[in-house]
Amino acid sequence: MKGKIKKAYIAGKIGTNNEKEILEKVEKLCKELGFETFLPHRDVGIAKGVQDIKRIFDGDINKGLKDADFVVAVLDGLHVGAGTAWELGYAYANKIPAIGLKTDESIEEALDYLSSILIGSMPIVKSFDELKKKISKLV
């Protein structure tokens, strides 16, 4: 990573209002810390059908993730969303640092259904206070 970290990509499931709200809370924290943010459901929208796939992929990946300085991924729930897992793999392959946020249970409790690969690829924090500290260390 070269220069000052400027842009955070916020990844996570967007199927429910609660899922969107936690992503928006992460986005607000990143903005308060002085970062530009990319929030896919806000900045690109949600796919309503197959006709939206190209627009969503191009917006999320080529305009959002490609030039992100770091990723924050919300990992709450029984499974990580397919899009979130893909985004984290892309970030890892492209040496974009990622931080996971899992507020609903410990990693030990989630080990059976969260991938060891996913867990091993990034630090995972359990609270917004820990997330704030972890992001601050990136700067």
Rounded Cα distance, 50 and 34, in Å: 36
| pLDDT class of 57 with cuts at 50, 70, 90 | very high
Averaged confidence pLDDT in the chain: 92
Mean pLDDT of 52-72: 94
Contact 85, 118 (CB under 8 A): yes
pLDDT the model gives residue 1: 43
Mean pLDDT of 68-87: 94
7-138 carries CATH number 3.40.50.450? yes
Q: Is the pLDDT of residue 133 over 70?
A: yes
How much is the pTM?
Answer: 0.92
Mean pLDDT of 21-41: 96
Cα 38 vs. chain centroid, distance in angstroms? 10
Q: Which residues contact 135 (CB under 8 A, 6 or more apart)?
A: 8, 29, 30, 33, 35, 70, 72, 99
Rounded Cα distance, 22 and 25, in Å: 5
Q: For residue 72, give the 3-state DSSP assignment.
A: strand
- Quick one: angle between helices 17-32 and 128-138, nearest 10? 40
Q: Is the pLDDT of residue 96 over 80?
A: yes
Q: Looking at 1-138, which runs of residues are DSSP E strands? A: 7-11, 36-38, 70-74, 98-101, 124-125
Who wins on pLDDT, 16 or 138? 16
pLDDT the model gives residue 78: 86
Mean pLDDT of 52-73: 95
Q: Is the pLDDT of residue 5 over 90?
A: no
pLDDT the model gives residue 3: 60
Rounded Cα distance, 127 and 57, in Å: 30
Q: Which of 121, 117, 120, 115 is nearest to 98 (CA)?
A: 121
Mean pLDDT of 100-121: 90
